[in-house]
Amino acid sequence: MKRKWLCSFVAMGMATVMLAGCGGNGEASKKEGSKSASDDKVKVALLVTGSFGDKAFNDSAQAGMKNLPKVLGDKVEYELIEMGNDKTKFEGSLMDASESDADIIVTGLWDMKEITETVAQDYPDKKYIIYDTDIDYSVGDLSNVYSMSYKQNEGAFLAGVLAATATASDMEHANPDATIGFVGAKDTAAVINDSAVGFIEGARFVNPDIKVLVSYVGSYVDSATAKELALTQYSSGADVVFVAAGPASVGAIEAAAESQKYIIGVDSDQALAYDGKPEADYIISSAIKDVGGSIVKAVERSFNDELPYGKHEVLGMEDGVVGLADNSIYQSVVPEDVRKAVDDAKAKLLEGEVKVDTAFGMDESKLKEIIGNAQ
């Protein structure tokens, strides 16, 4: 309990700063939210690594939080906290949130996994929801933590179907080569490799002989390298690239616009983030993991005492949180026969007629074989 006592002591001396990192956080967390004088409301705090405006997970999570009052009415209030990119301050930020009057604390991604496992044990009266990662429930009493991850391989499978069908179509920027590309963040991240496996299998579901170029940025934030890799793939014959690189994905999107080729975004509907800009016309869809929607559902289940704290769940297409973005660009730029191919593949997935492999638990040699054989 030493960490809890220390953070409480610091908080007493910083009463005017609600949630500014315990232990001398020089970069004050940015906060916004819906506050009320009523103590009857359940207070939900979202802590994100990095910042909002990433056109991906953080923005999706933020949208979900802002939607909570629409779903739960005046029974809930929320707070949004940016923790920045200094990983040494993440634990202090989570401790501060745990010392606050928040009832449910939401955070996510793999770099918050061990921190949540540590901090949550010191605050058994708080509830924690962590997304896009699992929790090792064997490390201690984590009966107050619910973790959820996503079947991104299913959304990536549909992205592969879209890319392979589009490259063989008469779409304006398609070429005769049966070549498409995948740009991922880190080759050591199972969640990224899961997208790679799904994408390759979706493409080969359409055309077993298609060539899938695969490159890794080595980072989630290096947009310059992501752009360089995408440019290389486009110059090597790819006319559709699927990017799964977090905030670094913006670089690949820039490459698509410069090359006048197509790109499939990731995590959120990235075409909407570029609404009114030239890049939007080249983002024919996005493989969505509806983080915001899953947060709303989790909080709503918690309100109804239906959320299985102490357990991990994997959510997929059948849960309505994984799929492809269907927007005005998709409807206008992608021909009807290509969209039908995607719809047919989706139906086969939902019916269980088609199964998608996952990189989670996959032997490394098999993973390398799948990626190697695709190129």
Query: pLDDT value at position 29?
Result: 44
Q: What single string gives the DSSP state of each residue in 196-234?
A: HHHHHHHHHHH-TT-EEEEEE-SSSS-HHHHHHHHHHHH
Query: pLDDT value at position 26?
Result: 35
pLDDT for 148 beyond 70: yes
**Of the candidates 301, 318, 184, 298, the residue with the CA atom closest to the CA atom of residue 246:** 184
* Cα distance between residue 70 and residue 268, in whole Å: 20
pLDDT for 84 beyond 90: yes
Alpha-helical runs (H) found in 286-335 = 291-303, 328-333
* Cα distance between residue 254 and residue 267, in whole Å: 17
Note whether 74 and 41 are within 8 A (CB).
yes
Query: pLDDT value at position 56?
Result: 77
Total length of the chain: 375
* Cα distance between residue 166 and residue 164, in whole Å: 6
* Cα distance between residue 143 and residue 264, in whole Å: 38
Q: With pLDDT > 70 as the criterion, what percentage of the chain qualifies?
A: 90
Per-residue model confidence as pLDDT tens digits over 271-285: 988 888 999 999 999
* Cα distance between residue 207 and residue 176, in whole Å: 14
Strand 262-267 versus strand 76-82 pairing type: unpaired
pLDDT for 31 beyond 90: no
Which stretches does DSSP call E strand in the chain? Answer: 30-33, 42-48, 76-82, 104-108, 127-131, 145-150, 179-184, 211-216, 240-244, 262-267, 283-289, 312-315, 322-324
State whether residue 30 is helix, strand or coil. Answer: strand
* Cα distance between residue 182 and residue 162, in whole Å: 13
- Report phi then psi at 283, rounded to 5: -90, 90
**DSSP structural state of residue 115:** H
pLDDT for 237 beyond 80: yes
Task: Report residue 266 as tokens.
Answer: 């990731």
- Report phi then psi at 100, rounded to 5: -80, -175
Each as own residue / partner, the long-range contacts of residues 335-344 (CB below 8 Å, 24 or more positions apart, any chain) are 335/169, 335/170, 335/171, 337/165, 337/169, 338/162, 338/165, 338/166, 338/169, 338/171, 341/161, 341/162, 341/165, 341/206, 342/158, 342/161, 342/162, 342/165
Going by pLDDT thresholds of 50, 70 and 90, the confidence category of residue 318 is: very high
Note whether 292 and 65 are within 8 A (CB).
yes
**Of the candidates 110, 195, 146, the residue with the CA atom closest to the CA atom of residue 308:** 146
Going by pLDDT thresholds of 50, 70 and 90, the confidence category of residue 39 is: low
pLDDT for 37 beyond 50: no
Task: Report residue 212 as tokens.
Answer: 């899938």
Chain center to CA of 352: 24
Considering only CA atoms, give the Rg of the chain: 21
Query: pLDDT value at position 273?
Result: 83
Task: Taking residues 52-61, report their average pLDDT.
Answer: 85
Going by pLDDT thresholds of 50, 70 and 90, the confidence category of residue 247 is: confident
Per-residue model confidence as pLDDT tens digits over 323-342: 999 999 999 999 999 999 99
Going by pLDDT thresholds of 50, 70 and 90, the confidence category of residue 32 is: very low
Over the chain, what is the mean pLDDT? 90
pLDDT for 42 beyond 80: yes
